[in-house]
Amino acid sequence: MRKRIYILFVLLLALTDVIAQQKDGTYTFLNTANSARVAALGGTILPIYDSDIQLVTNNPSLINSEMNNTISLSYVDYYNDIKFGTVQYGRTFEKIGSYVGTIQYHNYGKFYYSDETGFQDDATFSVSDYMFNLGWGRQLNDRFSIGANVKFAGIQYETNSSFAIAVDVAGHYRTKTNWNLSLVARNIGSELYNNYQGFRNELPFRMLAAASKRLEHLPLTFVFVYDNIQKWDLSYDDPLDLEGNYDPLTGQMQEKNKIDKFAQNLFAHVVLAGELALGKNLNLRLGYNYGLRQNMKTPTKKGAVGFSYGVGINVYKFNISYSRSEMHIHGSPNYITITTNLDSFKKH
């Protein structure tokens, strides 16, 4: 049985670049970080195999039996009146593996109706995204585990709505030298319905590879992520030309030399992070997303754009994580996650 599961998983992973769309679409919120630890450590997948249920929405191969009866609540205070909320619960069944259910809801606040002249009559409408996710994970042996997510996603923008179904597949391997390696393909799927006319939404397919290692003589875990494997060139042409890439006389793009262009493309995929454990009850976290910094910085003031940071604290039977992500010089979202295992409250 395990052999058949393994073969099926490898085939799915090998076929993802054939069956999946390689474009960003309307459902980009599926790649948004919704928990504090994930946001603090770069905002993508994390190849850290522990009992933290926060990590499995992005990397289902981390789902394991230690998450049984664990519940997690996350809240994100985004920009202005935009709010995100996430609820997760894990359960393990001896013969079929471990499962984690996740509900995510993104509320973008209220918007005023206006006509072409800009006139508003104080009538408002709401905009929101949501996702229902069921994740499964199974450990095939002492070193190799696999996992998958099946998710139903929807958007509701005023009277416009859309629904889609997608899957993630992932594998995780722990080496004899305590390296943790993950490979994940996300958002393989299709839109099921929309009430737009003549328009079809695409899902933001994404492949990622990641590695982590906890140092032997220092309680520091460092993380390396290579994001967007499926697409090499992540650059775009800025129509405002804030970086001065166009010749003012000819109007032609000033091409970078091949080495600079290669380096910029390479590092646009790279996310680096580290987590320092100060005893059993305190963790300090720091992440750096080079691609985010290049896309969101301004020429006159770059600040700490691309950096994220946070802390994790164990208090009584709860783990409380808080983080901030420097996405832009004009503000940083706040993330907070509270996690507990309900079994810890049972009387022995």
**pLDDT (0 to 100) of residue 206:** 93
Give the CA count within 13 Å in the CB-facing half-sphere of 212.
23
Residue ranges per domain, the chain?
2-234+269-345
Cβ contact 83:127 at 8 Å: no
Q: Rounded to 5 degrees, what angle do the CA atoms 132, 135, 139 make?
A: 175
Annotate 93-129 with b (16+ C-beta within 10 A) or e (fewer).
Answer: eeeebbbbebebebbbeeeeeeeeeeeeeeeeeebeb
- Count of residues in the chain: 348
For 273-285, the pLDDT digits (tens) are 999 999 889 999 9
**Do strands 83-93 and 160-174 pair parallel, antiparallel, or not at all (unpaired)?**
unpaired
Cβ contact 213:233 at 8 Å: no
For 142-165, the pLDDT digits (tens) are 899 999 999 999 999 888 899 999
Q: Which residue do the tokens 């901030």 mark?
A: 324
For 61-102, the pLDDT digits (tens) are 999 999 999 999 999 998 778 899 999 999 999 888 899 999
Domain 2-234+269-345, CATH number (from 1.10.10.10, 2.60.120.10, 2.40.160.60, 3.10.310.30):
2.40.160.60
User: Where is pLDDT greater, at 225 or 194?
Assistant: 225
Cβ contact 5:147 at 8 Å: no
Mean pLDDT of 238-266: 67
Enter the DSSP assignment of 300.
Answer: S
Q: How far apart are CA 239 and CA 245, in angstroms?
A: 10
In the chain, the percentage of residues whose pLDDT exceeds 90 is 55
pLDDT exceeds 90 at position 249: no
Tell me the pTM.
0.85
Question: Cβ atoms within 10 A of the Cβ of 286, count?
Answer: 17
Q: How confident is the model at residue 182 (pLDDT cuts 50, 70, 90)?
A: very high
